[in-house]
């Protein structure tokens, strides 16, 4: 039963992140008169993670992202048996959120599908950045995202502030990466919108799995060295109580 609760929490948190974050791009940033721009979308992703981590992190760890699960596993923070179920439920939640978002978006008479908040490189990059540039950006940004997560949830970090640090880190990541790749660092968040946006985005989806997972894996290994005092069951949002 406890593990079922974990999976439900991961589903809800990933759904919230995808619907809220991508929804800010599809429903608000798409209309210039609303004026939220890149900064508004970056803040929206921050708010979804910040609220999701504080609401659900004490149940599942508040991963909401296959790269986070993978990085915490490589860092010794997540049991091996949790990895595949977490990733499957995260991807399912992101797909459900993307289809729910499309249903809402289609309620506007002027709605055009477009990129539907999908990620891409080359011609599908918002700034037309190359594959190599996008790969480096996604790898490095995911690496530092996991360093923030692992560090802020370590035993010696200030208690109770992990969710804030994680949310602000994601804001920074989005401010940097939206012009480059439309900001992924989350394979589940990338998969849901790509299924809506179509074949061209699906063909590039591999990068938005490979780069975040690679960066997260490396961060987990480095995290073992930097934060070796951290408890094995530490979560992303709810640090364990100190002894």
Is 235 contained in some domain? no
Residue numbers of the domain that contains 87: 2-226
Q: Which two tokens stand for residue 158?
A: 């200030």
Split into its structural domains, the chain has a count of 1
In a domain, 9, yes or no: yes
Classify residue 74: in a domain, yes or no: yes
Q: Which residues contact 8 (CB under 8 A, 6 or more apart)?
A: 59
* Residue 207 in domain: yes
Q: Give me the half-sphere count of Cα atoms (radius 13 Å) on the Cβ side of residue 31.
A: 11
Q: Give domain status of residue 67, yes or no.
A: yes
CA distances, 81 to each of 63, 73, 85, 108 (Å) = 15, 10, 8, 43
Distance, CA of 64 to CA of 49 (rounded, Å): 8
Tracing tokens 């990059």 back to the chain, one arrives at 125
114: helix, strand or coil:
coil
**Rounded mean pLDDT, 198-213:** 98
List the CATH number of the domain containing 191: 1.20.1080.10
Whole-number Å distance between alpha carbons of 174 and 38: 8
**Has residue 233 got a pLDDT over 70?**
no
Query: Over 70: is that where the pLDDT of 229 sits?
Result: no
Tokens of 82: 């949790």
Residue 211 lies in a domain: yes
Residue 231 above 50 pLDDT? no
pLDDT attached to residue 159: 87
Burial class (CB in 10 A: 0-12, 13-18, 19+), 155: middle
Check residue 67 and give its pLDDT: 98
Rounded to the nearest integer, the mean pLDDT of the chain is 92
pLDDT tens digits along 84-143: 999 999 999 999 999 999 999 999 888 888 899 999 999 999 999 999 999 999 999 999
Q: What was the pLDDT predicted at 34? A: 65
Q: Is residue 233 part of a domain?
A: no
CA distance 130 to 123: 8
What is the pLDDT, as a whole number, of residue 214? Answer: 98
pLDDT at 83 over 60: yes
Mean pLDDT of 211-220: 98
pLDDT at residue 33, as a whole number: 67
Is 239 part of a structural domain of the chain? no
pLDDT, tens digit, 9 for 90 and up, residues 10-69:
999 999 999 999 999 999 876 766 668 889 999 999 999 999 999 999 999 999 999 999
Percent of the chain with pLDDT over 90: 84
Percent of the chain with pLDDT over 70: 91
Q: What angle do CA 62, 68, 74 make, to 5 degrees?
A: 120
- Residue among 215, 29, 198, 36 at smallest CA distance from 124: 198
């Amino acid at each position: 039963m406890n593990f079922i609760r974990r999976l439900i929490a991961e589903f809800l948190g990933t759904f919230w992140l995808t619907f809220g974050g991508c929804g800010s791009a599809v429903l608000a940033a798409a209309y210039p008169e609303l004026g939220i721009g890149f900064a508004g979308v970056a803040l929206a992703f921050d708010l979804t993670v910040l609220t999701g981590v504080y609401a659900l992190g004490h149940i599942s760890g508040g991963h909401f992202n296959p790269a986070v699960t993978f990085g915490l596993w490589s860092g010794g923070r997540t049991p091996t048996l949790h990895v595949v179920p977490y990733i499957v439920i995260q991807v399912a939640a992101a797909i459900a959120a993307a289809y729910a978002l499309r249903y809402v978006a289609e309620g506007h008479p002027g709605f055009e599908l477009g990129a539907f908040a999908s990620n891409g490189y080359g011609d599908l990059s918002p700034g037309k950045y190359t594959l190599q540039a996008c790969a480096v950006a996604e790898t490095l940004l995911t690496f530092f995202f996991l360093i923030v997560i692992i560090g802020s949830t370590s035993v010696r970090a200030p208690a109770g502030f992990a969710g804030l640090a994680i949310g602000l880190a994601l804001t920074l990541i989005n401010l940097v990466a939206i012009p480059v790749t439309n900001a992924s660092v989350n394979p589940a968040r990338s998969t849901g919108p790509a299924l809506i946006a179509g074949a061209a985005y699906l063909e590039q989806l591999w990068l938005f799995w490979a780069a975040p997972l690679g960066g997260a894996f490396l961060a987990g290994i480095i995290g073992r060295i930097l934060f070796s005092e951290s408890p094995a069951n530490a979560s992303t949002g709810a640090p364990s109580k100190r002894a």
